[in-house]
Structures are given as structure tokens and as C-alpha cells.
Structure 1
Amino acid sequence: MILPVLIMPDRRLKKRCYEVEEINEETWQLLDDLHETMQAHDGIGIAACQVGVLAQICVIQVEEEDEVLELINPRILYGTGETLDIEGCLSLPETYGTVKRFAEITVEYYDREGELMEMTASGYLARCVQHEVDHLQGILFTEKMVEAIPPEKIEEWMEEHFND
């Protein structure tokens, strides 16, 4: 089911989410609903708090052909390197800006079957995981933004920084 996405200044977006203590049918339904909601809004990631559920759950799908990454109680174990790129957010329409993130991360999380997983990610996937994990801590990308980029300047910025 497609759920309504909360838009700032909704205070629930600034709240720290609770750890999921039991993975059950309700959790699976939320994962499915998050995926459907993310797709309906042309997103590449969404956290449960963005639909008003304060649980440490998020889903990510950077490319259409990628498997959907479902993260329950994710924890970034460590990160290396640094990268600067443009981010946006379903909860902050028409707001874009550059954010410094780790270039590579290792994240620990539970999958929908309750298995403890560990994954190393780099590039845009690493950026997306960090963005969504921040949501679960009540942190929006605008709090880490280096420079605001107007929507009409995004392509220009991307071209200028293609080889960065």
C-alpha cells in the first residue's frame, strides 16, 4: 500500500526511531509498503519515520534493476574516505544540496528473515545508506548540507563535478 510521506516541518521527522524488537508480519508489511511508497514517489530510499512509523526500518533501491535493500536496526560500523555530492529527500520537496559523506561504509543490519547481516557499500549506495540511517536518528540531510543547490542548477553542478 502506498503510504503518505511526511513533509517537513512534521516533528516526527526529527525524532529518533526505536529499535525493532520482533520481526513479524507487521514488519514485513511495512517493508513492502515502504518499497511501494518509495517507487510511487520516484525515490531511491525511504525510512519508516517518513511515513510516520518511528521504527528503525528503511529500504533502498538505487537502480531499478537492483534488489531492494531492506535494513532493520541498521548500524554503520565504520566508514572511510570522503565524498561530496548532491542529495534530496522525499520529505523535503524541491530542496537539494551538497553533503559530505563517507565514500565507503560497513553497515550491520537485520534482514526481513531476522538474519544479522553485514555489508560494505561504496559510491551512491553508501551515500543512500548513510542518508537513511540519519533519518532513523532524526537527522535530515539539510543539517549536514554544505551548499544549497537550486533545482535548476543541479545538472550544471553535476557536469562541473563529474570527475570529482
Structure 2
Amino acid sequence: MAILPIVMFPDKILKQKCSKVTTFDRNLAKLLNNMHETMLEADGVGLAAPQVGVKKQIAVVDIGEGGDIIEMVNPEVIETSGSQTGPEGCLSFPGIFGEVIRPYRVKIRAQDRRGQTYELEAEDFLARAIQHEIDHLNGVLFTSKITKYLTEEELERYEVND
């Protein structure tokens, strides 16, 4: 596996809509493995393909609570409910954090690395991470959803209260 360079804002690829994946092969599996490794190395909880310079609908999420890594290929949100406000950051925006309002619960449909379709329901922080990554695939950046930028001290207060 390899650590991939992370694309930083204002690179144009971050604001572009990604194309669907149509080929499920070794190259896709290798990209997913490398994206997961890159995300862990960067201490992130999610990474979308455009963040490593690939304009395809591919993302990985791993919030580190003992669950499996979630690999999302061609994901789409099919249902949301509730509301939550919480801090977000992004590997493509180092040092920038803000409060973002998102649905509390999300249901998605996606494909795995073999092309098999699955549905997944998530709540709370996992739902937030999944929605953040799917936004990336549509060229939507979390900075466009920030209601309040957070200082390091304010961010630490959030982490203490979790």
C-alpha cells in the first residue's frame, strides 16, 4: 500500500462533481486500500477520491470505533432525518474547523469494491462523516456549510464534552 498526496484547497478538483465508477477491478481495490492507508496516516476519519486527485465517486470512512472501514463507491443519500450541529475539519483544509449542521441520521445506497450494491444507515458522528465525504464527491466543501468557525480552544471544548 502507498500513502497518496492529499490535494489542498484551492485545487480546482475539490469543487468538481466526480464521475461514476463503472469498472470494478484491481485498480479500484488498490485505490481504496491506498486511500484508507492515506486517511489513517493523516489522522482523518474520511477521505474522498478527489482529495487524492481522482475525480471518481469513491470515498472511505473509518471513525475508529471498532467498526469496519466503510468503502463507498457511487454513493447516494436516499434518506435523512433529524439534525445535529457539530465540529468538522477536512484533510484538504489543515487547521480550519467549523460548526456544521447536518442531518442526525442518514441512509445511503452505494457499491462495494466488487460492485455489489448495499444500503447503510448511520447516526450521529458516523452519519456526519459519511455526509461530509459524499459532499466531496459532488464538489461541495464543508466550508460552504460552516455556521461558525472554531478556534483551537473551542474545538478542544467539543472534544472534552464528547
Corresponding position of 1:154: 155
Deviates more, 1:149-158 or 1:100-109: 149-158
1:54 and 2:55 matched: yes
Amino acid of the structure 1 residue aligned with 2:111? Y
TM-score by length of 2: 0.95
- Residues in 2 aligned to 1:106 and 1:140: alpha-carbon distance in whole angstroms: 20
SS at structure 2 position matched to 1:29: helix
What is the CA-CA distance between 1:153 and the residue it aligns to? 2.2
Q: Deviations over 1:55-99 (max 9, x none)?
A: 000000001622111000000001000000000000000000000
CA RMSD of aligned residues (A): 1.3
What is the CA-CA distance between 1:123 and the residue it aligns to? 1.0
Corresponding position of 2:22: 21
What is the aligned-residue identity percentage?
Answer: 39
CA contact under 8 A between 1:107 and 1:118: conserved in structure 2? yes
What is the CA-CA distance between 1:157 and the residue it aligns to? 4.3
Amino acid of the structure 2 residue aligned with 1:33? N
Number of residue pairs the alignment of both structures matches: 161
Deviates more, 1:60-69 or 1:128-137: 60-69
Corresponding position of 2:84: 83
CA distance 1:53–1:146, change in 2 (3 Å): same
- Residues in 2 aligned to 1:148 and 1:158: alpha-carbon distance in whole angstroms: 16
Corresponding position of 1:42: 43
What is the CA-CA distance between 1:112 and the residue it aligns to? 1.1
SS at structure 1 position matched to 2:132: helix
Q: Deviations over 1:117-149 (max 9, x none)?
A: 001110111000000000000111000011000
TM-score by length of 1: 0.94
What is the CA-CA distance between 1:158 and the residue it aligns to? 4.8
- Residues in 1 aligned to 2:3 and 2:97: alpha-carbon distance in whole angstroms: 24
CA contact under 8 A between 1:82 and 1:102: conserved in structure 2? yes
Structure 1 runs not aligned, ≥5 long: none
- Residues in 2 aligned to 1:97 and 1:11: alpha-carbon distance in whole angstroms: 22
What is the CA-CA distance between 1:152 and the residue it aligns to? 2.9
Corresponding position of 1:131: 132
Structure 2 runs not aligned, ≥5 long: none
- Residues in 1 aligned to 2:80 and 2:157: alpha-carbon distance in whole angstroms: 29
- Residues in 2 aligned to 1:73 and 1:151: alpha-carbon distance in whole angstroms: 34
Runs of 4+ in 1 over 4 A off after TM superposition: none
